[in-house]
Structure 1
């Protein structure tokens, strides 16, 4: 790689064809193993590396596996994004139509669920296989404005020859991931795409803003659900002895009794009526309520509960979990991207880490120890019986197993943490 750089967005806004030609040279040199005239942007270079490792053909696109109409309708009904389609339409469709672009909404599997916008651009999208029900994952169609934001977990604009597959070069795409604020789960991508010569430098910022508006709408709807649950919870808890709380199906508390207020409770997968072990709370009795659960906590402290095994599963490209097993049973918690990074680093060093050392590995800046402490405080809310501090480490009597992807390049692919980037580069290139 050379050290030459260029502001691609400004160049494309002034002379899109020159920018496209320049990128074609960058891509051709990269694919042939030569030094390109300028360095590809890091998010694009990382994506191209994944495509080369995964065997995606840069000269032939893949158009197969369309969802049936019935499957498409089922995914639409099950998608949380259906609740915020009006927000997405209001923010993007009219602008996309005027700019000869289209708005595309996909689920977390990169399946195209909705498309709206200029009719001529919709027709061109059909010719590319960018149609309803299409599989637009990176591993299927290469670097693009739907699949790449799902892997990188951040907004990404892909211009012309930054697309890995050559048939997509006439296009520019700007996509932003959307997460469910109730549990932080990635639920899909909103994307604006169109011919590369209609690219505008503000498109990515617009898409990012509308995605955040959609998340805010989901958050407001969630607060309304909690308010309704609270009307049930308050009189019920007033007749309850001992420690108890009412939570929604995602673990957010509507009301508590006999204990200090708490943040979100990490509910085990498959939670049902009866006995259960709650991370950080210990054993409890679970009773169903409309829209949530009544949790009656057993007496006594909830500290370390005889944990015998911890499995940190980082093998997937977008979802990571920690599973804790012990005499009282087992539970699994889905990890946020930042918590996955921190637990990976702690598992790699059983002797323990200081906040400053973790800040160096995560941010490249030891002075950000306060940020690390705040994140680990959140981790210890569900791993209080597993994770110790001073220094931060897994308990000595816990057997810790880390499940890694077969190819190190796919280790937490969203992460820009220096320690993770180093580990990701340990595999063959």
Structure 2
């Protein structure tokens, strides 16, 4: 009787060795262009396709140079991940050591910064290049529990022969991305890895839950820093008239005067003191404060002119929006969800309702609450350049979308039904 993907997943929980043999047959057939006995899981199949297109050799273990100890230390000292190591250790290490696993924490570039757990498994990991400072990007090492979550932006378990490179097929890995709650930026991945026979079906859910706890801790730290900034802001704003706000370095609002409170103000990536134009207030005077900025409205008329909006989706994980017009030019780095939504709006200039966007994103028109919440966040930095009922870019704006050279590289993290078809090579844009 033929097995299905679900059958293989269940089999892996009770007979890891047999499941590994089935997946080995799937891998061999798929990579040789033959019909596989079971279709690979979609997340694995898409990853294998990326590897084949990028030229990763499945039968040869390629490794880049390790980072120096000094560079590992520098990255540790500057990474937000250092603040959540106690959470990760408490949630993962005790069980991982008993289960003959190791915990690996990598940065957003897929570089291994921390490695802890079973000493026996750590020695085995050395043999596969799973060392401090190693580069485990998917484009270098193939499908794996660090590099693949970096690309897909979601938790991924890679079991046995689901690894693209043959030398890794005796391992099982479960990795979950960790994002900065201030801006949605990926800051790293936490992974639990070990010999394939130690695999458990609940491992991925366990790793994901600990990653979410880590993000919760980062959110608490951010709220504490805003409270400190409010103490600085209070006497400053008390002396001012007009519209002004004190925000942190990422634009999150600590306090305002003379204007409605909003959670976050859109700031350019490289803000500096002086007279600036910001989407929320227009012409402003920006002054540095300890831990943030004092932003005062200059109340000058904004020059009129044609507005050009460029949505750049060409980079693998650096999607951005650049606005040029009479008030100057500014850019904003996009989260994965905002890149999806703005791409859909750029493709459909007549606009889409919340239900239509929900259908395009999730295949479920009922998920309008999620769409409206995200569109509200987008309007914080795009302001009057977005209309609603339906949601659309304003008529006066010239909108251009820069796509990847290969359509299959369009927002690889996205599972949006409306974007899946646009990854077909040769399709008209």
TM exceeding 0.5: yes
| Segment drifting more, 353-362 vs 11-20 | 353-362
Q: Which residue of 2 aligns with 1:317?
A: 316
SS in 1 for 2:6: coil
Q: Which residue of 1 aligns with 2:237?
A: 237
Q: Is the 8 A contact 2:407 2:423 kept in 1?
A: yes
Q: Measure, in 1, the Cα distance between the counterparts of 2:283 and 2:358.
A: 34
Q: Measure, in 2, the Cα distance between the counterparts of 1:352 and 1:377.
A: 16
- Residue 418 of structure 1 pairs with residue 417 of structure 2: yes
Q: Give the aligned length.
A: 426
Q: Which residue of 2 aligns with 1:203?
A: 203
Alignment of 1:2-151 (within 5 A): 4-151=4-151
Q: Which residue of 1 aligns with 2:177?
A: 177
C-alpha distance after superposition, 1:4-56 (max 9, x if no partner): 33343431121010000000011111112222111211111111111111111
Q: Is the 8 A contact 1:253 1:263 kept in 2?
A: yes
Q: Is the 8 A contact 2:183 2:335 kept in 1?
A: no
Post-superposition offset of 1:69: 1.4
Q: Which residue of 2 aligns with 1:382?
A: 381
SS in 2 for 1:272: coil
Q: Is the 8 A contact 1:310 1:401 kept in 2?
A: yes
Post-superposition offset of 1:392: 2.2
SS in 2 for 1:66: coil
Q: Measure, in 2, the Cα distance between the counterparts of 1:247 and 1:7.
A: 52
- Residue 294 of structure 1 pairs with residue 294 of structure 2: yes
C-alpha distance after superposition, 1:344-381 (max 9, x if no partner): 11111223223332222212223334432332222112
Q: Measure, in 1, the Cα distance between the counterparts of 2:25 and 2:202.
A: 25
Post-superposition offset of 1:399: 2.1
Q: Which residue of 1 aligns with 2:392?
A: 393
Normalised by the size of structure 2, how large is the TM-score? 0.95
Normalised by the size of structure 1, how large is the TM-score? 0.95
SS in 2 for 1:121: helix
Q: Measure, in 1, the Cα distance between the counterparts of 2:361 and 2:40.
A: 23
CA distance 1:296–1:3, shift in 2 (3 Å): farther
Q: Measure, in 2, the Cα distance between the counterparts of 1:176 and 1:366.
A: 28
CA distance 1:305–1:186, shift in 2 (3 Å): farther
SS in 2 for 1:157: strand
Q: Measure, in 1, the Cα distance between the counterparts of 2:400 and 2:77.
A: 37
Q: Which residue of 2 aligns with 1:373?
A: 372
